[in-house]
Structure 1
Amino acid sequence: MEADRAGPLRRPTREEIAAAVGRGLPDVIGPGLRVLFCGFNPGLYSAAVGEPFARRGSRFWPALHGAGFTDRQLRSGERDELLRQGLGITSLSNRATARAAELTSEELVAGVTGLAVKARRYRPRWVAILGVTAYRIAFAEPKAGLGPRPGRLGPARVWVLPNPSGLNAHFPLPALTAEFARLRRELDG
C-alpha cells in the first residue's frame, strides 16, 4: 500500500490487520534530524498499512503540526516530507501489537540499545520518547516525568513526550500539542 499525496492511505481489511501481529515497520530516519520520535511499538493498523501513526484520527500528526514542527499537517506515508522537515520516527520495539501493554519490560529495555545505535549513527539533536510509561520502564527511571531527561543517547539529548495514542485520556489533543511545543521551543531556543 502506498501513500498518495492526494488522499489518505488505503484502509486495511480486518484480515490484513489481524495478519499484522508481530510485523515491524521500517524506520523513518536519516542523518542530521532535529528530532527522532520514538514510540513504544507499531500498532496493528500501522503495521498492516506499512506506515507509522497510520490510523485515521492519529493525534501524532495534528500535535506535530500544532506545535510548529511542520508547516502543514502531514499524513502517515509522507516519509520524504517528514525527513525534509528534519524529523524521523522509530520505536523501542518493532513488534506490532494490538496494545502497547502486550510488550514485555524486557523488550522495552532491550529497545534502548537499538535506539542508542540509531542515535549514534544518525545523530539527531533530540530523541523524543513518546510515552512516559515506556520511558520509565525502558530507561529504568520509575519516577521520570515529561520533558528533558539527563544523559544522552549517543550525541542526542533525550526528551519525554506523552504517548499520542487516543487511549491516553490524560492528554487531550491541546495538552498533547502543548507538550510537543515545549520541545519545539527548546529546539528554537
Structure 2
Amino acid sequence: MPDLIAPGLRVLFCGINPSLYSAVVGYHFARPGNRFWPTLHAAGFTQRRLAPSEQEELLTLGYGITNVVDRATATAAELVATELAAGGRKLAAKVRRYRPRFIAMLGVSAYRVAFARPDATLGLQPETMGETRLWVLPNPSGLNAHYQLKDLARLFRELRRVATASS
C-alpha cells in the first residue's frame, strides 16, 4: 500500500496496517465500514466527505497517510508485537525524512506496542520524533466499537485545532 506523503505536511495520519480490502482497491481506509473519511470531514479536516478514491486531495490540504505495518490483514489483531516494533522504527525514519508537524497515530494499543509506551493515552504525547509532535487518536475502524462517529470527530477536531494553530 503506497504512502500518501510529502515533505512538511501539517498532519501525517498513521493507521495500524491496511485492511485486505484497502490493499486490493489501492486506497487507504477504503473498507466500507471504516469511519476515517467521515471523521475527517466531521472534524473539519475536509470541506466535504472524501471518498477513498479521492485520497490525493489530502495532500493539497497538508495531510497525508501512512501505516505502522505495511502487511495487509483482515484485522489488526493478526499483527505480532515484533512487526509493530519494526514498523515503529521504520515510521520514525520516515518521519525524520518527511518532517510532518504532527503524526497522528490511529490506535492507542498499536502505538503502545510499536513505541514501547505501555502507559500512553489518547491525545498529545510528551515525546516527539525529532521536531514532529505525536498525537494518539482512536482507530477509526468499524471494528472499534468503543467510539461513535461523534466521539471520533470530537477527538480528531482537537488535533485539527492544535495543528492549524501551529501552522
Gaps of 5+ in 1: 1-24
Secondary structure of the 1:77 match is helix
Secondary structure class of the residue paired with 1:30: coil
Measure how far apart 1:36 and its partner are. 0.4
> 1:136 offset after TM fit, Å?
0.9
What is residue 153 of structure 2 aligned with on the other side?
Answer: 177
Name which of 56, 61, 73 aligns with 1:97.
73
Compute the TM-score of the two structures, normalised by the length of structure 2.
0.95
What letter matches 1:119 in structure 2?
V
Aligned counterpart for 2:95 among listed residues 119, 122, 126: 119
Deviation at 1:106, TM superposition (A): 0.6
User: Whose relative contact order is higher, 1 or 2, with alpha carbons under 8 Å and at least 6 apart?
Assistant: 2
Displacement of 1:73: 1.2
What is the identity, as a one-letter code, of the residue corresponding to 1:143? D
Q: Distance between the aligned counterparts of 1:158 and 1:181, measured in 2?
A: 15
| % identical aligned pairs | 61
Larger radius of gyration: 1
2 CA distance for matches of 1:29 and 1:176?
23
In the TM superposition, what are the counterparts of 1:1-189 in structure 2 within 5 Å?
25-189=1-165
Letter in 1 for 2:75: R
Partner Cα separation in structure 1 for residue 136 and residue 108 of structure 2: 6
**Aligned equivalents of 1:36 and 1:186: distance in 2?**
14
Shift of 1:56: 2.0
2:95 aligned counterpart, secondary structure: helix
**Which runs of 5 or more residues in structure 2 are unaligned?**
none
Structure 1 residue 154: Cα displacement: 2.7
Summarize deviations over 1:87-120 as a string: whole Å, max 9, x none.
1000010000011010010111111111111111
How many aligned positions are there? 165
Q: Which residue type is aligned with residue 36 of structure 1?
A: L
TM-align CA RMSD = 1.0
Aligned-partner SS, 1:181: helix
Question: What is the TM-score of this pair, normalised by structure 1?
Answer: 0.84
